Structure 1
Amino acid sequence: MDRRFTPVVATLFAAISTPGMAQTSAAKDSSKDASLPDVVVTDNAASTVKVDQTSSVKSTAPLLDTPKSITVIPSEILTQTGSTSLQEALRTTPGITFSAGEGGTPLGDRPLIRGFDAQSATYIDGVRDTGAQTRDMFNIESIEVTRGSDSTAGGRGGPGGSINLVSKLPKKEAFNEVNVGLGTDSYKRTTLDSNMLLGDNLAFRLNALYYDSGVPGRPSAVDVSRWGIAPSIKFGLEGPTSVTLSYYHLQSDDMPDYSTPYRNSGTARSKANPDSPVNVGRQFYGRTALDFRNTQTDIGTVQFQHDFSKQLSLRNTTRYGKSSQDYIVTNPDDSAGNVANGYVFRSPKTRISDTTTITNQTDLTGEFMTGPFKHKFATGLELTHEETNIGSYVVTQTSASGVPISGRVCNAALLASYACTSLYRSNSGDPFYGTVTRSPTVTNTTVITKSVYGFDTMELTKQLFLNLGLRWDNYSTHSVQNTGANNFSNNDSFRNYTAGLVYKITPEASVYVSYGTASTPSGASVGDGGDNLSAANQALPAERTKTAEVGAKWDLLNKQLSLTGAVFRIEKNNARVAVDATTQAVAGTQRVNGFELGISGNLTRKWTVFGGYTHLDAKLVDNGPLAANSVNNGNQFPNTPKDSASLWTTYQVLPKLTIGGGAFYVSRVFGNPANSLFVPSYVRYDAMATYAVDKNVTLQLNVQNLTDKLYYDQAFTTHYAHMGPGRSAVLSANIRF
């Protein structure tokens, strides 16, 4: 693995921690950004994890008065649970799963909310974050998960909801924090968070990361190595005019892992006779001589804000972002009957891609009166250009003497060339015989989006609020290979809206009813996901998804604890389905009926709790006229558990000692629409303890997957399931100065 960046990061940390650059800690300022959760530390009391409002400028009401299911995962939960990636962070909130990548579907974060893909509905500070990535949490303050059809807020996509990552940006507070962690599986992680006041109205913040580790429960060949840096500076801390400049860089050098093939029992797979992953323990079928994964993400942002008054503000955000992937990964192919005979064919999957995005977004927010009615509004304009280039490698496997192999059925010749390996005793150190060349074919996809939107929360009475939103998008996409082949275009305009009514039973409790829509046009993933533009779908209108929801929210214990509940239906009546081998139509129906419960906050001054439960009855109601698909009518959505639950809790047992733990349950998940492939249900347990050595130094011990449960957290539609990490222990020291 390439470790050339290690000295660079070590030098950076050394420079920042020198006395000449260290800033004296100051008491937290009362003007701290209201969008971030309060952290209450008195005699090492447990932190408050309840959040009252999201960071979005499009949010025109506090969470209690917003007629939607919204979960905010604050920094305290990210820290306590030891979450370093987006997937680890989102395990703390049920109803979200991740689907696997393979072939045309890239590796990276592919979250599903309430059963629907949210890869293209993931945002950073309210701006769409395009491109397949694996995101790290070193520069993330909190995560905001909105459930229900959400195109009114974000534009295309978001049929089941959206995810917004809130960055760490300059504050009016001087501090330096270094966190150093060591653990099992060669775990090494160091992060820096330094906020410096350079004057009364100017602050600079720097976050940095170095991370190198094996993957618990996997062979030593499987590892993760990343480094990142995120500087930002804000002019105008006191307002009324401010300018924030920020930059984010993350680079990784990992060994990818497709984990375990499905059992392939030898009889025809069906809903009545499904296959689960083969029971071979924690085997790894990749080869270090061939496999690799390098990624890089760069994001630069300029944000201008001017407050005309307390009732009117203007914000403009301009962002340039680029994300790239370069990898070869071994797929443990089960398509040729080898698994039943105790072998695996090593099928290389490759990708060379980069996605570039330029966005300008202007928002006007404020308050006004119309007669007796008070309005809080947000309106805006978004202009975005996105471009993806996707290529691949040509991997030719040969014998040791250079003769190309033939077929995928494991025989003596394929075993001798190491293109096949034992199902039970695979060796990652096997040599690779063959050639790797870059394919000359590259597919270019561009998307141009123009959008206008508006939101209003109208206070009809002190108890009754009307929440409205409307958005119009003009969406134009074009995809073509550099050979001139596969030239496809889709041009569409669509409107989305949301409406909700909130009734305040008491100042601390509300009930609501809401309705919202989402539009997912063909090629919504800009060529870097599972929804690529093709001859079959280029002329089709956008899929339309609708969510109806009834819910309740209750703040109790002096507003220290929040309880939420909702019953909902999501319906897509024009899902894209196959009419024949080359034609699609928007004629399918997909439906999700469900309910969810949530809890967040403090039960007592020393006892915090965060978690929830989600039930999803997700059905493929009508898959169209093609017989191969209509046989799946009534089946469960892929990668969508019927039941999932999570609970994380901490308790301060001594003035300096806090202990905590969590349980995470996911019921059986199917990998494909036929429901003939599945991964079993599982429960995972985690534990944590922190000890405050003094006011500046805190030690934290995290033990993940206490019982060393072998489970699968992603199920692909064919071939394989991705294995979750085994048991691990990490001891970290957080030093504040």
Structure 2
Amino acid sequence: MAMAQEAARVQALAPITVTGAGEDPDQTIVATQTATGEKLDTDLVDSSAAVSVVTQKELQTRGVNTIEQALSYSAGVSVDEYGSDNRYDYFRIRGFSQNAAGSYLDGLATRTLNFTGPKLEPYGLERIDILKGSTSTLFGLNAPGGLVNAISKRPTDYPMGEAYTTLGNDHAETGVDFGGPIDGAGIWRYRLTAKWQDANDGSKYQKDDRLYIAPAVTWAPSDATELTVLGQFQDNEGNSGNSLPVGTTLSPDTFFGEPDFSAMNRTQRSIGYQFRHDFGGGLTLRQNARYSNLDLLYQQAYLSAYSDTGRAAYQVEGKLTQRQIDTQLQYDRQWGRVAGRTLVGADYGDYEVNEQAFSGTAGAIDPRDPGYCGMACISLGSAVPTHIDMETKGVYLQQELTFDDRWILTLGGRKDWVDTDTGTDTSNTQDAFTKRVGLTYKATPDWSVYANYSESFEPVGAYYAGQLATARPQRGEQYEIGSKFRPEGMNALFTIAAFDLSQTNVARSNADFSISQVGQVDVRGLELEGRAELSDHFNLSLAYSYWDAEIKDGANAGNRPQLTPEHLVSLWADYTIAGNDTWGDLTLGGGLRYLGRRYADDANEASISSNVLVDAMASYQIDKQTEVALNVTNLMDREYVSTPSLDGTALFYGPEREVQVTLRRSW
């Protein structure tokens, strides 16, 4: 349960929009366009920000089933912080936790308040963009590391579809995805994506059951006007996380919770739209909006040094409502040898959560031979209500100037206002102005060097009502230089970036459900990334990250921040042996992931060993429309610790080997 506090601490708000990748984003691992870095459709080589893209082809080839799996082969990102715990999407960008602050869906933030927050379903996504570095100048409240924007599947202007079934160890799922034009002129288009899953994670008592349904409709009466309505229903029955006592010799899949009191169940519903109208003369209006609500039931019995029985019990019943809208005006103009793109925008968000929390104890458990006592041994106290209503408003301006198709200057600024009402005297109002400067020089059309300065602003979460009045907002700033290269005649993109990133008033969750602010944390780093189709048959992706992280102030000054490795490495390759109409195409692939040694706490008293994980895949194209695929994660079934609990008495282990076979039929 304590690990959920880390996910719930941070706040994120802001809209972004992302465009498709390349000529056919479904058939390449190399993206070419994004709107993440500048909030304008931009060639990745032109952007003065570091952006990684996980395309639909990569998601399918690697058999991705979680957001953490999707991000695991990208530079600047570490995942798997809490092993098989599937309560939240846990990830860290450039050394800073983004568990709740950095997740976006279709340009709007997917916020977690306290324990109540959504999860993203990878099968419903077209692609995932990862923007690295401080992002508040356009995107509002956010941690300094960056953000992840997931793009929903949306209607196509051609008929398409697929159906699939996946079977694995304690895992079964099936899904469909189809759509296309409704009328002959293609003015109306539709898409329906659905998935059902019955699975266990780690042990037979840790469920990962899902039902996902996402309808979408597009109305495009002309090339100048388009409206897409996106709906989503998601019902997840997940696990409450599992940890093992320090020093135990039992298998990591041993369950130390209580089977009858173990749940992380969510029901998510949302409806939203994306609208675009081109007025002509270089003026375009865009507006994105979404309404969503979520019901949560969280129950967990967990090992705790603070309980007389050795196990604590915790239950949360939560309801979260989110209302968001982002409106943008873009004006393009040419002045001789200078091209200008001006962006003016305003966004609004209202986030309201109501929770009833119950704390107590669970019966003692034998660490050598766990036995369960059922609901009879769960003792909970009285309900502790929590109410948070956070209202955010932001206005932003960005000017981009391109000189002689070589120099690209980007200037931006944003003003944010945040009102947080907890129904107590500690409610407060905060505001901030953030700015950004970026410069790109294109030595050739496919080779650029860039530099940028950017800032971030993030109020401390409102969970601790008693500390809200004294908690100081977290501020960040980043200096970055880099280069991007797209080799002529090859579908590839290689990038390098060096950065100096700092955040002040960094918040930490404590085991006694309080927060502390550790002062300033600095991360200086280097990132190398490449994605390439070396031939029609050979795909390669590689990533390396170096993080030199240090706490600058307070009792732990000079130490390395918790859960921040120094080195991360990943490599993936797959090769297709063509059948040449004699037999089907056979694809073989595999990947390696290295996560360096890191500390479990800011005091650097306990460390977590580095680990190397191997993944593998194979697929056979039975005919042009039918494929069977095998995906294996943690191929060597390596047993490793992801992180200890906050009180240091228990360990979270990484996921064991998972083997899945998929039969897919496309049309």
State the TM-score, normalized to the length of structure 1: 0.81
Is 2:219–2:227's contact at 8 Å kept on the other side of the alignment? yes
Match of 1:453 in 2: 396
Q: Are 1:653 and 2:580 an aligned pair?
A: no
Per-residue deviation, 1:38: 4.2
Per-residue deviation, residues 469-512 of structure 1 (Å, max 9, x unmatched): 211111111213xxxxx531221221111111111121111111
Is 2:313–2:359's contact at 8 Å kept on the other side of the alignment? no
Long gaps (5+) in structure 2 = 1-17, 580-584
C-alpha spacing 1:552/1:466, structure 2 compared with 1 (3 Å): same
Question: What does 1:234-633 align with in structure 2 at a 5 Å threshold?
Answer: 234-236=218-220, 238-263=222-247, 278-282=248-252, 283-309=254-280, 311-334=282-305, 345-370=310-335, 372-395=337-360, 397=362, 419-427=363-371, 429-434=372-377, 439-480=382-423, 486-523=424-461, 527=462, 532-539=463-470, 541-575=472-506, 588-623=519-554, 630=555, 632-633=556-557
Per-residue deviation, 1:395: 4.3
d(CA) in 2 for partners of 1:451, 1:183: 46
Equivalent residue letter for 2:189: A
d(CA) in 2 for partners of 1:608, 1:152: 35
Per-residue deviation, 1:387: 0.8
C-alpha spacing 1:116/1:99, structure 2 compared with 1 (3 Å): farther
d(CA) in 2 for partners of 1:708, 1:509: 41
d(CA) in 1 for partners of 2:211, 2:382: 29
d(CA) in 2 for partners of 1:115, 1:163: 14
Match of 1:720 in 2: 650
Is 2:496–2:528's contact at 8 Å kept on the other side of the alignment? yes
Long gaps (5+) in structure 1 = 1-32, 42-46, 264-277, 339-343, 398-418, 481-485, 624-629
Per-residue deviation, 1:586: 7.9
Is 2:460–2:507's contact at 8 Å kept on the other side of the alignment? no
Is 2:360–2:380's contact at 8 Å kept on the other side of the alignment? yes
C-alpha spacing 1:491/1:437, structure 2 compared with 1 (3 Å): same
Equivalent residue letter for 1:653: I
d(CA) in 1 for partners of 2:86, 2:662: 33
Per-residue deviation, 1:110: 3.6
1:640 aligned to which of 560, 564, 568 = 564
Equivalent residue letter for 1:597: L
SS state of the match for residue 392, structure 1?
A: strand
Q: Are 1:162 and 2:91 an aligned pair?
A: no
d(CA) in 2 for partners of 1:609, 1:38: 19
Per-residue deviation, residues 163-189 of structure 1 (Å, max 9, x unmatched): 11111011111112111111122x111
Per-residue deviation, 1:590: 1.2
d(CA) in 1 for partners of 2:280, 2:245: 61
Per-residue deviation, 1:583: 12
d(CA) in 2 for partners of 1:711, 1:372: 58
d(CA) in 2 for partners of 1:183, 1:146: 33
C-alpha spacing 1:242/1:289, structure 2 compared with 1 (3 Å): same
Match of 1:268 in 2: none
Is 1:703–1:730's contact at 8 Å kept on the other side of the alignment? yes
Of residues 562-571 and 85-94 in structure 1, the stretch that sits farther from structure 2 once superposed is: 85-94
Equivalent residue letter for 1:619: E
C-alpha spacing 1:715/1:161, structure 2 compared with 1 (3 Å): farther
C-alpha spacing 1:587/1:85, structure 2 compared with 1 (3 Å): closer
C-alpha spacing 1:99/1:474, structure 2 compared with 1 (3 Å): farther
Match of 1:202 in 2: 188
Per-residue deviation, 1:464: 1.2
d(CA) in 1 for partners of 2:390, 2:25: 45
Is 1:477–1:491's contact at 8 Å kept on the other side of the alignment? yes
C-alpha spacing 1:181/1:307, structure 2 compared with 1 (3 Å): same
Is 2:531–2:542's contact at 8 Å kept on the other side of the alignment? yes
* RMSD (CA atoms): 2.8
SS state of the match for residue 45, structure 2?
A: helix
Match of 2:50 in 1: 69
2:89 aligned to which of 109, 131, 141 = 109
1:665 aligned to which of 594, 617, 623 = 594
Is 2:566–2:596's contact at 8 Å kept on the other side of the alignment? yes
C-alpha spacing 1:479/1:294, structure 2 compared with 1 (3 Å): same
Per-residue deviation, 1:715: 4.4
Match of 2:4 in 1: none
Match of 1:680 in 2: 609
C-alpha spacing 1:534/1:256, structure 2 compared with 1 (3 Å): closer
Q: Are 1:214 and 2:200 an aligned pair?
A: yes
Q: Are 1:232 and 2:176 an aligned pair?
A: no
C-alpha spacing 1:652/1:36, structure 2 compared with 1 (3 Å): same
Equivalent residue letter for 1:75: Q
Q: Are 1:136 and 2:121 an aligned pair?
A: yes
SS state of the match for residue 370, structure 2?
A: coil
C-alpha spacing 1:91/1:716, structure 2 compared with 1 (3 Å): farther
Of residues 310-319 and 122-131 in structure 1, the stretch that sits farther from structure 2 once superposed is: 310-319
Match of 1:695 in 2: 624
C-alpha spacing 1:279/1:636, structure 2 compared with 1 (3 Å): farther
Of residues 377-386 and 658-667 in structure 1, the stretch that sits farther from structure 2 once superposed is: 377-386
Per-residue deviation, residues 550-608 of structure 1 (Å, max 9, x unmatched): 11110015241111011111012454699xx9999988221001101001121222111
C-alpha spacing 1:676/1:432, structure 2 compared with 1 (3 Å): farther
Q: Are 1:707 and 2:636 an aligned pair?
A: yes
SS state of the match for residue 365, structure 2?
A: strand
Is 1:323–1:354's contact at 8 Å kept on the other side of the alignment? yes
d(CA) in 2 for partners of 1:247, 1:55: 22
d(CA) in 2 for partners of 1:124, 1:152: 19
Aligned residues: 632
Q: Which has the larger radius of gyration?
A: 1
Per-residue deviation, 1:541: 4.9
Is 1:392–1:438's contact at 8 Å kept on the other side of the alignment? no
SS state of the match for residue 155, structure 2?
A: coil
Is 1:85–1:134's contact at 8 Å kept on the other side of the alignment? no
Equivalent residue letter for 1:220: K
Match of 2:207 in 1: 223
C-alpha spacing 1:171/1:584, structure 2 compared with 1 (3 Å): closer
Match of 2:582 in 1: none
d(CA) in 2 for partners of 1:366, 1:279: 64
d(CA) in 2 for partners of 1:576, 1:220: 35
C-alpha spacing 1:393/1:335, structure 2 compared with 1 (3 Å): closer
Match of 1:270 in 2: none
Per-residue deviation, residues 598-635 of structure 1 (Å, max 9, x unmatched): 01121222111123010111111112xxxxxx1x2111
Of residues 452-461 and 62-71 in structure 1, the stretch that sits farther from structure 2 once superposed is: 452-461
Per-residue deviation, 1:396: 5.4
Question: What does 1:39-188 align with in structure 2 at a 5 Å threshold?
Answer: 39=24, 47-56=27-36, 58-59=39-40, 61-98=42-79, 107-118=87-98, 119-131=100-112, 132-185=117-170, 187-188=171-172
Is 2:406–2:442's contact at 8 Å kept on the other side of the alignment? yes
Of residues 348-357 and 695-704 in structure 1, the stretch that sits farther from structure 2 once superposed is: 348-357
Is 2:421–2:428's contact at 8 Å kept on the other side of the alignment? yes
d(CA) in 2 for partners of 1:430, 1:660: 46
